[in-house]
Amino acid sequence: MFQALLETQKPLMTVGAFLATYFVTLTLGRLLKRRTGVRFGLLFQFFCLTLAFYAAIAVYGAETTWRGHLGALLVLLGAGIVVALVDRYLWDEFYERRRQTVIPRLLRDSVALLIFLIALLLVLSIGYQAQAQLKGLLAGSGVAAIILGFAAQNLLSGILAGMSLQIGRPYRLGDWLKVGDSYGEVVEINWGSTRLRTNDAIYLEIPNNEIVRQTIINLHYPTSLHAMRISVGADYGVPPNRVKDALMRAATQATGVLPEPAPKVFLKDFADSAITYEIKFWITNHAAFNEICDGIRTNIWYEFKRRKIDIPYPIQVQIPAKTADSSAEMQ
């Protein structure tokens, strides 16, 4: 009797399952959108309809050939839902809001493509029992991928290095870097290279796969405060403390040199023709480095002139060959 009652009420139960599944799923999606800002869009409505049809067919008990196709479509649409959740909670919430790291569009699209590819492989292998065809396809695509990888090795390594720089963020736009012997301001970071602009407005294009192999000195991390040094020679006949006092005064009066931390002067070396001193000074604007050094060196010249301190220069004495031969004959 109970079985007969179920048979008579099956159409009504099927309609109820369809409506309940559709509206419950749609309500959950709207709740997520309202509270967390997950952007589902039209794709989610298709997912709700497909899930409702699948639930109705399961309740009705109909064994049709297109039920498997409907399940495959449901898995692919579910992959779109997973992509939307990854975009919201991984990229937007974790990286951009918490870590203050902007995730490039290419990385987002690559992860989304990978999720859809995994869903498609699951549908083909489990839903359609196409393991044999997939093995042949994967083997052929593996050979093609190896050939393509060798052909585009530098391009791929540059893109991977660009991803590493975009996620790790060792530097940002506007930072001043020292890469090798060059100083430059970061003006552009893309997937293939990093572009720097020097104090002379010369642009340096450095491939990302090369820049990640070098030691990157970021003059703006953790703050823009950093120290620079210049060297100057003074006469051996002048006491070091007198020279240091003159150099300290020249550095502190230069525009752009910070009063705190205060500059320091070191006796660096006893060179052939002069005692070499080094001035360590602190700045925050490396774009004005040339002007700051010009101000310090100008002040040094005037300070040395007032204190009668000479800046020696190497003197070479050349003896003509004829004079040397004449001296030998006279001996």
User: Which domains can be identified in the chain, with CATH numbers?
Assistant: 9-151 (no CATH), 166-218 (2.30.30.60), 226-306 (3.30.70.100)
Rounded to the nearest 10 degrees, the angle between the axes of helix 289-306 and helix 240-252 is: 140
Conformation bin of residue 86: beta by default, left when phi > 0, alpha when psi is -120 to 50? alpha
The span from the CA of 126 to the CA of 237, in Å, is 90
What pLDDT does residue 54 have? 74
3-state secondary structure of 105: helix
CA 44 to chain centre: 33
What pLDDT does residue 104 have? 66
Total residues found in the chain within this entry: 331
pLDDT tens-digit series, residues 284-305: 999 999 999 999 999 999 999 9
Query: Bridge partners of 204?
Result: 196
The span from the CA of 103 to the CA of 214, in Å, is 23
The span from the CA of 230 to the CA of 257, in Å, is 13
Average pLDDT over residues 250-271: 95
Strand order in the sheet with 182-189: 203-207, 193-197, 182-189, 176-179, 217-218
pLDDT category, 327, cuts 50, 70, 90?
A: low
Alpha helices in 37-65 (DSSP H): 42-60
Give the residue, 184 or 135, on which the prediction is more confident: 184
What pLDDT does residue 1 have? 45
Say which residues have a Cβ less than 8 Å from residue 134's Cβ, sequence separation at least 6.
121, 124, 125
pLDDT tens-digit series, residues 91-114: 788 777 776 666 667 677 778 888
Q: Does pLDDT of 133 surpass 90?
A: no
Say which residues have a Cβ less than 8 Å from residue 38's Cβ, sequence separation at least 6.
29, 32, 84, 85, 88
The span from the CA of 212 to the CA of 165, in Å, is 8
Average pLDDT over residues 43-49: 76
Q: Does pLDDT of 12 surpass 80?
A: no
Weakest mean pLDDT among 41-45, 49-53, 136-140, 227-231: 136-140
Q: What is the mean pLDDT of the chain?
A: 79
- Cα dist from 262 to 251, 265, 280, 289, whole Å: 9, 10, 9, 17
Structure tokens at 294: 């010009």
Longest dimension (CA), the chain: 144
The span from the CA of 165 to the CA of 57, in Å, is 50
Tokens 């703050």 appear where?
223
Average pLDDT over residues 139-160: 57
The span from the CA of 79 to the CA of 120, in Å, is 9
3-state secondary structure of 101: coil
Closest-CA residue to 251 (of 236, 266, 268, 235) = 266
